[in-house]
Amino acid sequence: MAKEVYDVAIIGGGPAGMTAGIYAGRGHLRACILEGMSTGGQMFNTAVIENYPGYDSIDGPGLTQAMEEQVRKWDVDILYKHVTGLKRQTDVFEVELLGGEAVQAKTVILASGSKPRKLEVPGEAEYQGRGVSYCATCDGAFFRGKNVAVIGGGDSAVEESLYLTRFVNKVTIIHRRDQLRASKHLQERAFADPKIEFMWDSVVEAIEGQQTVEQLQVKNVKTGTVTSLPVDGVFIYIGMFPNTGFLQGIVELDQWGYVVAGEDTATSEPGIFAAGDIRAKELRQIVTAVADGAVAAMAAERYLSERGL
Ligand code: NAP
């Protein structure tokens, strides 16, 4: 691996990281993107994207490829390395990589995103993108006039159920207890909505269908009875995991593990910026991730020029 000190090391190659790369490259910063898997992040696994301006409809791999080609037009190194740690040395950051290697950089942009918690039941992986979704904002419009289930009882499950009522015929919220965790005002709205029904004390045991999802096997945890619920789609909202395990004690994280940073993407540690889903914020979408990526790269450039680095 090259021994050079990068101007900016971008951790994560999703839409936030790739946009940060484009802006850094255009700003003549020496930048690298460190990506443990393949570029695109959650976007890569999205079947159809209809809410990214400029594309009436594009699949996740297609938009990933378009962004990656744009990154590669600039002098940005894409290194397929898994980041395990981050340390500030005197005047540079050391980004530690799996296998003991490290990259040095004057600034760091955290863009390693988050991932949805999985139910881990039969059919979940098989039907992802064919009726199983973790994003109502992304996929809700594909279920116009259909019946769907939402799994979970937190703010996300209830908020996204309310959003889904714009399109679908009926939403059944399946929750493992008999009380929602969601905030009271969301609960009141959901209870008052004629399109939302509830299956209490219930867990999904299997997701079944032919080409796409057709039904769920749902077990009542109090009675043990298993019933078959016919649905065209299932939205799973049982929590997210921000990919911030390597950042404990490095930057301030909120109580859910997201990086605390405002719209300026500045974290609690000068020279470290946070962009995309990893950041504590309201709306996690490709468009908000790319916006963060641009802001973070410009902030890194300003940080370097103000210090003459
Ligand atoms: P959450 O609050 O952790 O809720 C997860 C829900 O999924 C809980 O109801 C939990 O059940 C259920 N669950 C967890 N594991 C499960 C499993 N294996 N099988 C079935 N159900 C399972 O997650 P979230 O809704 O994504 O919200 C995350 C945080 O972001 C929350 O603190 C929330 O307040 C915040 N948030 C805020 C807003 C807003 O203010 N507008 C919107 C979205 C999220 P139990 O209740 O039984 O534990």
- Taking only the tens place, the pLDDT of each residue in 249-294 is 999 999 999 999 999 999 999 999 999 999 999 898 999 999 999 9
Helix (H) or strand (E) holding 62: helix 60-72
- Please report the pLDDT score of residue 225 as a whole number: 98
Question: Per-residue confidence at 3, pLDDT binned at 50, 70, 90?
Answer: confident
Please work out whether the CB of residue 159 comes within 6 Å of at least one atom of ligand 1: yes
- Please report the pLDDT score of residue 67 as a whole number: 97
Told to judge if 7 belongs to the known catalytic residues of this protein, a careful annotator would answer no
Told to judge if 139 belongs to the known catalytic residues of this protein, a careful annotator would answer yes
Question: Per-residue confidence at 50, pLDDT binned at 50, 70, 90?
Answer: confident
- Candidates 135, 137, 155: which one to mutate for ligand 1, based on the most atoms within 8 Å of Cβ? 155
Q: Tell me which residue of 236, 246, 252, 242 sits closest to 284, measured CA to CA.
A: 242
Asked if residue 2 has pLDDT above 60, the reply is no
Q: What is residue 146's DSSP assignment?
A: -
Phi, psi angles (nearest 5°) of residue 51: -125, 25
For the chain, give every domain's residue range: 5-116+240-306, 132-236
Q: In CATH terms, are 5-116+240-306 and 132-236 the same topology?
A: yes
**Alpha-carbon distance 17 to 22, whole Å?**
9
Residue 153 CA, closest ligand 1 atom number: 9
Q: How far is the CA of 189 from the centre of ligand 1 (A)?
A: 17
- What is the tens place of the pLDDT at every residue in 67-102? 999 999 999 999 999 999 999 998 899 999 999 999
- Domain 132-236: CATH architecture, name and number where available: 3-Layer(bba) Sandwich (3.50)
Contacts of residue 223, Cβ cutoff 8 Å, sequence gap at least 6: none
Please work out whether the CB of residue 83 comes within 6 Å of at least one atom of ligand 1: no
Please work out whether the CB of residue 174 comes within 6 Å of at least one atom of ligand 1: no
Q: How far is the CA of 156 from the centre of ligand 1 (A)?
A: 6
Residue 152 CA, closest ligand 1 atom number: 7
Q: State mean pLDDT over 214-226.
A: 98
- What is the tens place of the pLDDT at every residue in 128-182? 999 999 988 889 999 999 999 999 999 889 999 999 999 999 999 999 999 999 9
Please work out whether the CB of residue 155 comes within 6 Å of at least one atom of ligand 1: yes
Q: What is residue 142's DSSP assignment?
A: G
* Catalytic residue (one of 7, 32, 77, 138): 138
Percentage of the chain modeled with pLDDT above 90: 87
- Please report the pLDDT score of residue 219 as a whole number: 98
CATH of domain 5-116+240-306: 3.50.50.60
- Please report the pLDDT score of residue 91 as a whole number: 86
Please work out whether the CB of residue 239 comes within 6 Å of at least one atom of ligand 1: yes
Residue 155 CA, closest ligand 1 atom number: 25
Q: How far is the CA of 180 from the centre of ligand 1 (A)?
A: 9
Please work out whether the CB of residue 177 comes within 6 Å of at least one atom of ligand 1: yes
Please work out whether the CB of residue 61 comes within 6 Å of at least one atom of ligand 1: no
User: How big is the chain, counted in residues?
Assistant: 309
Give the Cβ contact number of residue 129 at 10 Å: 14
Please work out whether the CB of residue 135 comes within 6 Å of at least one atom of ligand 1: no
- Please report the pLDDT score of residue 115 as a whole number: 87
Give the Cβ contact number of residue 305 at 10 Å: 10
